[in-house]
Structure 1
């Protein structure tokens, strides 16, 4: 907040005073009145002072205290006025100090320096025009200057403390807004991750459906038992795909959800089940898992390996029908997890299944986010190979 904006905000009068404002105003008026009474008692000891002068000092001092009620609306004009009055009427000195304190609290340093300088100049003038009978001129001047400096310093301290509190509140509001933005970004990233999960899972399920439906299409004269078995696999795969889709949609409907649904997510320990499922679909898969303690693999790493193998098997069914797939997984906590999936060219059996080509690209990004790497591409013999490495992070 610059000085101009700050002054504009402070000059604008308040619509209503709070209970705290009332209490502070009453306390300031009472303090000014006490200082005025002490000054009046000191003036009574002056043998040259007339009773009329003392009475007028008390009246002006009382009016100066009442004028403090306007210190919030017009702090600078009130302070300057009371400075002039206090030079000839010592009983208004208390009200003048309160007005100077108000300026130090509510106005910037340049204004405070100007008003404070006038207050410091007024002290020796007041000691010369209306001397205190109990103090000599140097002592009275030094006392007045000390009181003015104390009041200004106290007011500037209060002002700096208020500005600090305001800045901390603004910082807290800003931090809360940034935290909300981070939460929204995290939620968006979580939903994008869920969308990738949906692609991996549904692509696997639907590829099974396409394989078996294609087999029924190309072999309408198949034995009834084989047709029934294929129909059962199609039914189970369709049911499982619907369950996965329902689970993902349920997560997307839950704001801020981080997990992937009520069912546990697959890990490396579920790789055997995935391979067996592909074998039942008619794909020859050779699994060589050299990780001795698969359940000890971190869940996030194991889930990434599972998804990579799942996507590779799905692509093999899509583009290399009838080809045998080789899956090798090995690793340790020190060396990390290494996996390789390869297949030779297909024999052309089965129906062609369309694909978007984004599955392995998404998995490469997922592996990179996990701190690993993933590469894929055709082999010299016309087949396809996927190689990856992931860190063994707890």
Structure 2
């Protein structure tokens, strides 16, 4: 993993306590170069003082001051190059000129300034070299006619040799440095983006797990609540009629057994769907990809919808409620047609949960179940009248999640859900689902 700028600074790779130097080795290098440059300029200052008649200590002091300017080359590279150009007539500061041009080219100084100062340094070196060689040729008088081309050619080579290499090398190092900084910034940016993506992936995985748990809890509630409610109602009826009508008690006991077996069958099918939809079991612990979570949840939901109940089984629901002693009337409008599995399952569960609520909270109430197959939707309504005061309460517990689960199912498919008491003292549950036919 790429270290960020803060990590590199915390690790001691950069230091910001030495004026303008970022690293200790940079400060040590500049101090060493400035020392060599000051020594060079001091020695050349002795020669310069002897040629101009100035006091030797003055020439040495001038050389030391001029050469030590190289110490600030990283902070003020333009000043270093200007000082080297100014000392060119005194034939001192060769190291300062070379290092100054390299630093100027490698820095972020505008290229126009770099070109102008490099040209000034080249011209100054050419003039000084030309004058010195001309004097040597004139005094030696050993070159003959060839001195006419020898002096300018050597002067050109000297000036270009002292200016071009540091300039080109500095441009290369500066471009490489900027490229490395750009790549480092890009790596830091990618690391931050990957961290954000990892956080979002974890959030989506947690959301997928929560949704799957909610869906499983809703299915378990729908499967168990209705069957168990009917079993409790039949058990109460069995207890009441056993001493009086043994034959009816036998029929009720058989119904209780059938409903228990149906509940177990539905639970077994649901568990089988969950096992078959779990594609994450083969992945190592702690390294399950988010795509596997999404595929597992989607597969489980699809299989549950395919294997779930259908809308034409509503008649069986109504028949079971009638057998439990409830007065239920079923009316169907329109022609029954196939819908998408999730639409049919949701419609079935709404009617099932509404009938379960009637068993729990309105024992003995007359109930009407209405289904309407329309052009672009299917509608269902379960309404019960006021509870029969003489009917015994089955004593079924209620978690208060039935209506919430129905609403979530219907709204999840883009439908409409309305529930509430009626003016006659009963309760009504209405839902409309869009017609999502399979392709």
Q: TM-score, normalised by structure 1?
A: 0.65
Change over 3 Å in CA distance of 1:3–1:315 after alignment to 2: closer
Counterpart Cα distance in 2 of 1:134 and 1:333: 95
Q: In structure 2, what is the equivalent of residue 11 of structure 1?
A: 13
8 Å CA contact 1:120–1:145 kept in 2: the answer is no
Task: Give the Å deviation of 1:195.
Answer: 0.7
Structure 2 portions without partners, runs of 5+? 16-21, 38-92, 130-153, 281-292
Task: Give the Å deviation of 1:320.
Answer: 2.9
Q: How does 1:206-217 map to 2 (within 5 A)?
A: 206-217=228-239
Q: How does 1:1-394 map to 2 (within 5 A)?
A: 6-9=8-11, 11=13, 76-77=26-27, 80=30, 84=34, 88=94, 128=125, 135=157, 137=159, 140-141=162-163, 144-245=166-267, 256=293, 257-258=296-297, 259=300, 264-290=307-333, 292-295=335-338, 297-332=339-374, 334=376, 336-347=377-388, 348-356=390-398, 357-393=400-436
Counterpart Cα distance in 1 of 2:171 and 2:434: 67
Counterpart Cα distance in 2 of 1:152 and 1:10: 23
Q: Deviations over 1:220-243 (max 9, x none)?
A: 234333222211111122233334
Counterpart Cα distance in 2 of 1:222 and 1:322: 20
Change over 3 Å in CA distance of 1:299–1:250 after alignment to 2: closer
Task: Give the Å deviation of 1:361.
Answer: 2.9
8 Å CA contact 1:215–1:350 kept in 2: the answer is no
8 Å CA contact 1:100–1:151 kept in 2: the answer is no
8 Å CA contact 2:242–2:248 kept in 1: the answer is no
Counterpart Cα distance in 2 of 1:247 and 1:74: 71
Task: Give the Å deviation of 1:328.
Answer: 1.6
Counterpart Cα distance in 2 of 1:120 and 1:11: 33
Question: Which has the higher mean CA deviation after the structures are superposed, 213-222 or 362-371?
Answer: 362-371
Task: Give the Å deviation of 1:311.
Answer: 0.8
SS at match of 2:428: strand
Change over 3 Å in CA distance of 1:337–1:250 after alignment to 2: same
Q: In structure 2, what is the equivalent of residue 38 of structure 1?
A: none
In angstroms, what is the RMSD of aligned CA positions?
4.4
SS at match of 2:429: strand
8 Å CA contact 2:125–2:158 kept in 1: the answer is no
Task: Give the Å deviation of 1:268.
Answer: 2.4
Counterpart Cα distance in 1 of 2:161 and 2:372: 92
8 Å CA contact 1:191–1:252 kept in 2: the answer is no
SS at match of 1:380: coil
Higher RCO structure (Cα 8 Å, ≥6 apart): 1
Change over 3 Å in CA distance of 1:343–1:158 after alignment to 2: same
SS at match of 1:381: coil
Change over 3 Å in CA distance of 1:121–1:251 after alignment to 2: farther
Q: Deviations over 1:207-265 (max 9, x none)?
A: 11111111112212343332222111111222333344455567778674422677812
8 Å CA contact 2:4–2:188 kept in 1: the answer is no
8 Å CA contact 2:229–2:396 kept in 1: the answer is no
Counterpart Cα distance in 1 of 2:327 and 2:425: 18
Q: Deviations over 1:169-209 (max 9, x none)?
A: 44224313321321121111111121122112211011111
Change over 3 Å in CA distance of 1:152–1:202 after alignment to 2: same
SS at match of 1:135: helix
Counterpart Cα distance in 2 of 1:289 and 1:74: 88
Task: Give the Å deviation of 1:289.
Answer: 3.0
Structure 1 portions without partners, runs of 5+? 14-71, 105-111
Task: Give the Å deviation of 1:128.
Answer: 4.9
Q: TM-score, normalised by structure 2?
A: 0.59
**Radius of gyration: which is bigger?**
2
